Amino acid sequence: MDHFNYRHQQLFAEEIAVTDIIQQFGTPAYIYSRATLERHWHAFNDAFGEHPHLICFAVKSNSNIALLNVMARLGSGFDIVSQGELERVLAAGGEASKVVFSGVAKSRQEITRALEVGIRCFNIESIPELKRINDVAGQLGKIAPISLRVNPDVDAHTHPYISTGLKENKFGVSVSEAREVYRFAKTLPNVKITGMDCHIGSQLTELQPFLDATDRLVVLMEQLKQDGIELHHLDLGGGLGVTYTDETPPHPTEYAAALLNKLKAYPNLEIILEPGRAITANAGILVTKVEYIKQNEDRNFAIVDTGMNDMIRPALYEAYMQIIEIDQSLVREKAVYDVVGPICETSDFLGKQRELAVAEGDLIAVRSAGAYGATMSSTYNSRPQAVEVMVDGNQAHLIKQRASFADLWRLEQLIP
Ligand code: LLP
């Protein structure tokens, strides 16, 4: 459920007509709904009730500091994968003590900064990384809290590019090696084992892979007990899918209930989740203007003022994202269009073969664009990125300005 609905054939974001927002801020524009974000976060947080838990919002899905600040005000934790994301969380008022740090390539600088600000946990992806963290912590006179990212080798049944829990993926340590790695970690003086984590993939629309992964981690936890290693938390990563069209992913409540049921024997084990998409995707739309209608021999094109530069998911994963009219009261003939952008690449499309009632100058929106939209955008073809607007009831706040052209080369310089 989100807060983008039609009233008298006009698309509204919460209490404001999208047309009015665009009149103020122009296109292309990402529009987010604060109420939707909060609702989705609460769906996860409330689902665990009294059981110790922490929802660590996956910053990579949307890292605008206003959005992170909305999360921070809810008391959210954060899952980060770089120092840049850490600095964003801190700039947004997030608490370092609620940050978990994932990612396969943590540099010494990143580790140092994370130790200095006192993050909750490093999610370790390899033995060399474990050694490096021990080493850096030793130099700083600190103890690094760590969790081992275990690759449970389960098939998430999702797109291969966003599936991460299989043997062949670069992430984590295999479930068969993990016990050894934990034993080794126990011998290191500057790390403290606090947890275990996994992340098997993104946009999962069924529970079973999550539950299979949990089973494998529980077996491992029991083995660790025999080695005298007791864990404080279990982090099952992100990955819960959303409805882009007709998918019916499980609700967070269902997911939490199934997890709690599996973990009945561990009432004190803190459960951490790292949801990104499930919180942000349907809390955002990308609004764009039709520049031209063009007809070829066998295709109609709606050429719009944004494309893979602002929203790369269709080009990169052939992701299907719904495209809707903003003003349905306009009298237009319906036709089937390829909705394409201004970028000089054949893969620059937002959707293919879509039935739309549009004409030149009309506004349309890509739905479910709040996750992996703005964060994956670029200025390719020297097009300034979409502005970002956060709607809060009947207020629309600009949360990212449009860059000027000079901003595009602000960090560049001529040679002498
Ligand atoms: N935790 C870790 C360690 C992750 O790698 C990810 C996503 C998440 C949490 C959050 O997953 P989510 O709840 O959002 O599914 N760009 C792709 C998605 C890449 C996901 C990468 N990792 C897309 O647009 O579909």
Same domain? For 268 and 287 the reply is no
Residues 53-60 have a mean pLDDT of 98
What pTM was computed for the model?
0.97
Q: Which residues line ligand 1 (CB under 6 A)?
A: 58, 61, 79, 102, 162, 199, 202-203, 237-240, 274-278, 313, 317, 372
Judge if 251 and 292 occupy the same domain.
no
Q: What is the pLDDT of residues 206-222, one digit of tens each?
A: 999 999 999 999 999 99
| 256 lies in some domain | yes
Query: Residue 51: pLDDT band by 50, 70, 90 thresholds?
Result: very high
Residue 274 known to bind ligand: yes
Domain, as residue range, for 364: 4-32+281-408
Q: What is the pLDDT of residue 161?
A: 66
Q: How large a percentage of the chain has pLDDT more than 70?
A: 98
DSSP at 55: E
Q: Is 240 helix (H, G, I), strand (E, B) or coil?
A: strand
Kindly state whether residues 126 and 237 are assigned to the same domain. yes
Lowest-confidence segment of 6-15, 82-91, 164-173 by average pLDDT: 164-173
210 and 340 part of one domain = no
| 234 phi, psi to nearest 5 deg | -125, 125
Which of 88-102, 146-160, 388-402 is least confident?
A: 146-160
> What digits encode the pLDDT tens for the residues 231-282?
999 999 999 999 999 999 999 999 999 999 999 999 999 999 999 999 999 9
Distance 123 CA to ligand 1 centre (A): 15
| Cβ-Cβ contacts under 8 Å for 127 (sequence gap 6 or more) | 173, 181, 184
Q: How far, in Å, CA of 390 to CA of 64, rounded?
A: 10
Residues 148 and 261 placed together within one structural domain of the fold? yes
241 and 135 in one domain?
yes
In this structure, are 233 and 260 located in the same domain? yes
Judgement on whether residues 249 and 322 belong to the same structural domain of the protein = no
Q: What pLDDT sits at residue 162?
A: 67
- Look at residues 253, 273, 293 and tell me which one is the last residue of a structural domain: 273
Q: Which atom of ligand 1 is nearest to the CA of 371?
A: 24
pLDDT band at 171 (very low <50, low <70, confident <90, very high): confident
Task: List the Cα angle 278/281/284 in 5-degree steps.
Answer: 140
User: What angle is formed at CA 367 by the lines to CA 86 and CA 237, rounded to 5 degrees?
Assistant: 40
Residue 166, pLDDT above cutoff 80: no
Q: Is residue 168's pLDDT more than 90? A: no
pLDDT band per the 50, 70, 90 thresholds, residue 158: confident
Torsion, Cα 229 235 237 242, to 10 degrees, reads 150
pLDDT of residue 156: 77
Determine the atom of ligand 1 nearest the C-alpha atom of 61.
14
The answer to whether position 121 is within a domain reads yes
Whether residues 124 and 240 share a domain: the answer is yes
- Look at residue 227 and tell me if it is in a domain: yes
Answer whether 312's CB lies under 8 Å from 377's CB: yes
- Measured between its terminal Cα atoms, the distance across the chain in Å is 56
Q: What is the CATH number of the domain that holds 21?
A: 2.40.37.10
Give the domain CATH number at 143: 3.20.20.10
Hey, which residues does 234 pair with through a beta bridge? 196, 271
pLDDT higher than 80, residue 1:
no
Domain annotation covers residue 49: no
Ligand 1, atom 22: nearest CA belongs to which residue? 202
Structural domain includes residue 41: no
**Mean pLDDT throughout 150-170?**
76
Active-site residue identified among 56, 121, 198, 344: 344
For the CA of 280, the closest atom of ligand 1 is 14
Same-domain pairing of 221 and 317: no
Q: Give the pLDDT of residue 239.
A: 97
Listed residues 234, 251, 273: the one ending a domain? 273
The closest alpha carbon to 366, from 289, 293, 261, belongs to 289
What one-character-per-residue DSSP string does 242-288 give?
A: --SSS--PPPHHHHHHHHHHHTTT-TTPEEEE--SHHHHGGGEEEEE
Pairwise CA distance, residues 353 & 347, whole Å: 14
Length of the chain: 416
Give the chain's domain count.
Answer: 2
* 276 C-alpha to ligand 1 centroid (Å): 7
Q: How far apart are CA 223 and CA 262, in angstroms?
A: 17
Alpha-carbon distance of 54 to 38, in angstroms, equals: 15
Mean pLDDT of 346-356: 97
Question: CB-based burial of residue 235 (10 Å sphere; 0-12 exposed, 13-18 middle, 19+ buried)?
Answer: buried
Domain membership of residue 413 (yes or no) is: no
The reply to whether 232 and 334 lie within a common domain is no
372 is known to lie in a ligand binding site: yes
Residue 39 lies in a domain: no
Pairing, β 10-13 against β 4-7: antiparallel
Task: Supply the mean pLDDT for the chain.
Answer: 96
Whether 121 is a known active-site residue: answer no
Q: What is the pLDDT of residues 316-327, one digit of tens each?
A: 999 999 999 999
Classify residue 353 by burial, with Cβ atoms within 10 Å: 0-12, 13-18, 19+.
Answer: exposed
* 336 falls within a domain: yes
CB 19 within 8 A of CB 13: no
Interface predicted TM-score of the whole assembly (ipTM), two decimals: 0.99
Using 50, 70 and 90 to split pLDDT, how confident is the model at 157?
Answer: confident
- Comparing 5-9, 156-160, 203-207, which segment has the lowest mean pLDDT? 156-160
Residue 96: CB atoms within 10 A of its CB come to 16
What are the CA-CA distances from residue 286 to residues 67, 293, 341, 380 (Å)? 16, 19, 13, 17
Q: Tell me the pLDDT tens digit for each residue of 116-156.
A: 999 999 999 999 999 999 999 999 999 999 999 999 988 77
> Radius of gyration over alpha carbons of the chain, in Å?
23
Is beta strand 173-174 parallel, antiparallel or unpaired with respect to 144-151?
A: parallel
pLDDT at 383: 98
Q: Tell me: do 146 and 185 sit in the same domain.
A: yes
Residue of 157, 171, 90, 95 lying closest to 126 (CA atoms):
171
> Which among 255, 273, 291 is the end of a domain?
273
